Amino acid sequence: GPRAKSLTDFWRMIWEQKVERIAMLTNLVEIGNNKCTQYWPEKVNGPPMVSDQFTVKLLKEDVWPDFTRRQMEVSKKGSNSVRPVTQYHYTTWPDHGVPSHATALWRLFRKLTQDADNTQPIIIHCSAGVGRTGTLIAMDHMLDQASKENGIDVYACVTALRQSRMHMVQTVVYRHSQK
């Protein structure tokens, strides 16, 4: 996830790529360690988060047992347009661990993939960008593969992901939780 020094870059990426959905798979602090800087406002309809280039407003927050959906509005200085961005914050998946319940991860995935236009890119992030992020990307890839090929190849999927980014899907436990 973004750090304080990269917040403007994070929102610039969202703006330039016309991102409408973010999957956040880390908590801000885990076991006493800062994992991600909060990049959204504290309160619904409260003061916006303002950087040198972007203004972010929190419009709505829906809380479920394992994840929170935040609907935001982003504007860029010098632009008249305002864009919606929805964040899906999965809150019960510990770093180097497994999701609390496979069904909860499935609910998050379905919300993430059904709530908006599937032609827009989705940002998926955890803290390091490999373990939890890699697992959700692998889940998406294998569900797509299963629908097209009537089966999946977990090893080939993880190998392909690791060719793009080392250490994707960090542990055997992650791989087993995808079955």
pLDDT, tens digit, 9 for 90 and up, residues 16-58:
999 999 999 988 988 888 889 999 999 999 999 998 899 999 9
41-52: pLDDT as tens digits? 999 999 999 988
Secondary structure (DSSP) of 91-153: -S--TTS--S-HHHHHHHHHHHHHSS-TTS-EEEE-SSSSHHHHHHHHHHHHHHHHHHHSS--
Structural domains in the chain, CATH included, are: 4-127 (3.90.190.10), 130-178 (no CATH)
Ordered alpha helix ranges (H), 7-101:
7-16
- Does the pTM surpass 0.75? The reply is yes
Maximum pairwise Cα distance, the chain: 49
